[in-house]
Structure 1
């Protein structure tokens, strides 16, 4: 539901780009170009980009120790919606910083603003993505982007109501559905939020009954949508042949019906390549709860007892650290429907 007094910006927002901080440039170049099949551009010794389509930048990689997604970039369709979002953030007393011309150029955008986001992930809004004149050079035939954005991000959280409240306040995000799942003995509830017709752009997973976060990275996985089933199958084969770790085998999700697999990136979070998810019809859609993430498949690949113990240790360690939120933009949190 829209808790804002200003007109809704739902539908004018889409995931535009992500900034990843890593010291593993050689591995990321192989992963993004040779395994996933994206277009790659080296900008400098400590900067590179991947493209999915005609836009100059979809992933900006900068050198640093985080080994994680550090920025989520949102393309806003029009200047009125951009200014509406900026006004909302400022009205809640949250600092807004204007990006420099150089920062905007690296992201291939205009009119760049940033402000704090949940789990320490900086949120950026921008207008007018720059279209590259350079032809795409990539192994994939194409990726589905356009008005619904470039895919989605999934985040694990000990404070899911606050995260949902944040994206409702800032972007008028709508609840699409829930999934209840048990993974390695932990009962999870996953909330799926949309900001346009894409089934979800944000997924928030929380352990039921415990303020526990079993994932080291801020982002658990990110998703890109392959143009064809053949593209998905070929990239799956390349990930195996090049020796990158597969997290989950090919399967089909219960809620959005997307066919996908999950590979482990050089930074440790997961990268989902999907195909053919459902598109939400706003006139008929009603949120519902699904049991389990998959109709079939998505079985763990190469998971060991040591890996499970490491995940358990991370979860226990998270109990001692309060998760970063932005209370001013989270309201009281949005209760589950």
Structure 2
């Protein structure tokens, strides 16, 4: 346990062992891509967000009163570049910064231009697991006018914009990092076999949202068939009508649907998955359970979904590509900050 105190800019003394659980949430995601038009089509016309092209060529998507939730910046990686984590206040930020400092993880403060692009006053960033930039802030830029959207709204607020799911070959170190730095809690597990490969899914939460991060890994020989840092990110629709309308728009626009509409067994969310221009997926979900901290007990499920969620559109070439990446991953190092 951390035992030292840290003094904030205002002179407050903060006990470093204070928990930041329920004081941190998914704030924004930054994707690097050369496919700005395709991303604007997906986020705007298909999923119903307000998706605007900025003067620097980036695409900025609004879902609520925050100036930014998803940002697509020009670049070649076709991957998630950064994850913005919103802290409840300066007190919570100080705790996290102290924990990083105690573990020797270098943290830098953003430039004014970078913060403006993210839609925050300032942020502090460091390199997290899988080489993902993690950006910390507590002062988002808010917009008084409601976003122009083709949907009634999204569930965000103190739960954040949604969740991310990532495959890993180093699950123990990955979980240790998120628990020690952000007080991540275990929600439940799914043990399931896909195409003959046994997989373990662990669902973890930063707040009462059923899960903010999900980890998936193979139990014995550690393989990773996913090219990108995440397998998917999720946003939560306000109503079932919003979900069904987005599903129809994706089909009408000819977008690649990865999984059809279905209901997950563990969090009860009804959702579908659409392929993004960068290769990972977006889950568009509705009505997952909310965790009651006083009574919640983790469970183990033997299926991902109770109905639906049928895989669509994966060719033989796609399956062979995943197999090749799985084998190649045995020779590829997966970054985790030192000390984890």
Are 2:217 and 1:216 equivalent residues in the alignment?
no
Q: Which secondary structure does the structure 2 equivalent of 1:260 belong to?
A: strand
Whether contact under 8 Å (2:64, 2:146) holds in the other structure is no
2:13 is matched with which residue?
none
1:50 to 61, 65, 80: 61
Whether contact under 8 Å (2:40, 2:52) holds in the other structure is no
Equivalent pairs counted in the alignment come to 327
2:191 is matched with which residue?
180
55-64 or 103-112: which moved more? 103-112
1:110: how far off? Answer: 2.3
State how far apart, in whole Å, the 2-side matches of 1:35 and 1:50 are.
Answer: 12
1:125 is matched with which residue?
136
Q: Which whole-Å deviations, capped at 9, do the CAs of 1:29-48 have from their partners, x for residues lacking one?
A: 11111111101122124222
Q: How does 1:1-16 map to 2 (within 5 A)?
A: 4-5=2-3, 6-16=17-27
Are 2:331 and 1:310 equivalent residues in the alignment?
no
- TM-score, scaled relative to structure 1: 0.95
1:127: how far off? Answer: 0.8
Which runs of 5 or more residues in structure 2 are unaligned?
4-16
2:7 is matched with which residue?
none
Which runs of 5 or more residues in structure 1 are unaligned?
331-337
Are 2:290 and 1:261 equivalent residues in the alignment?
no
1:76 to 84, 87, 90: 87
Whether contact under 8 Å (2:82, 2:135) holds in the other structure is yes
2:334 is matched with which residue?
323
Are 2:278 and 1:299 equivalent residues in the alignment?
no
State how far apart, in whole Å, the 1-side matches of 2:164 and 2:141 are.
Answer: 23
133-142 or 258-267: which moved more? 133-142
State how far apart, in whole Å, the 1-side matches of 2:144 and 2:113 are.
Answer: 19
Q: How does 1:69-218 map to 2 (within 5 A)?
A: 69-218=80-229
1:4: how far off? Answer: 4.6
Q: Which whole-Å deviations, capped at 9, do the CAs of 1:79-127 have from their partners, x for residues lacking one?
A: 1110010010011001000011111111111231001111111111101
Are 2:75 and 1:64 equivalent residues in the alignment?
yes
2:8 is matched with which residue?
none
Q: Which whole-Å deviations, capped at 9, do the CAs of 1:220-248 have from their partners, x for residues lacking one?
A: 00000000001101101111111110000
1:288 is matched with which residue?
299
Q: Which secondary structure does the structure 2 equivalent of 1:138 belong to?
A: coil
Whether contact under 8 Å (1:12, 1:81) holds in the other structure is yes
State how far apart, in whole Å, the 1-side matches of 2:201 and 2:48 are.
Answer: 29
1:312: how far off? Answer: 0.6
50-59 or 101-110: which moved more? 101-110
Are 2:29 and 1:18 equivalent residues in the alignment?
yes
Are 2:260 and 1:249 equivalent residues in the alignment?
yes
69-78 or 132-141: which moved more? 132-141
State how far apart, in whole Å, the 1-side matches of 2:53 and 2:145 are.
Answer: 13
Whether contact under 8 Å (2:39, 2:59) holds in the other structure is no
Are 2:207 and 1:235 equivalent residues in the alignment?
no
Q: Which runs of 4+ in 1 moved over 6 A?
A: none
State how far apart, in whole Å, the 2-side matches of 1:121 and 1:237 are.
Answer: 33
1:78: how far off? Answer: 1.1
Q: Which secondary structure does the structure 2 equivalent of 1:50 belong to?
A: strand
- TM-score, scaled relative to structure 2: 0.94
State how far apart, in whole Å, the 1-side matches of 2:166 and 2:183 are.
Answer: 18
State how far apart, in whole Å, the 2-side matches of 1:38 and 1:326 are.
Answer: 34
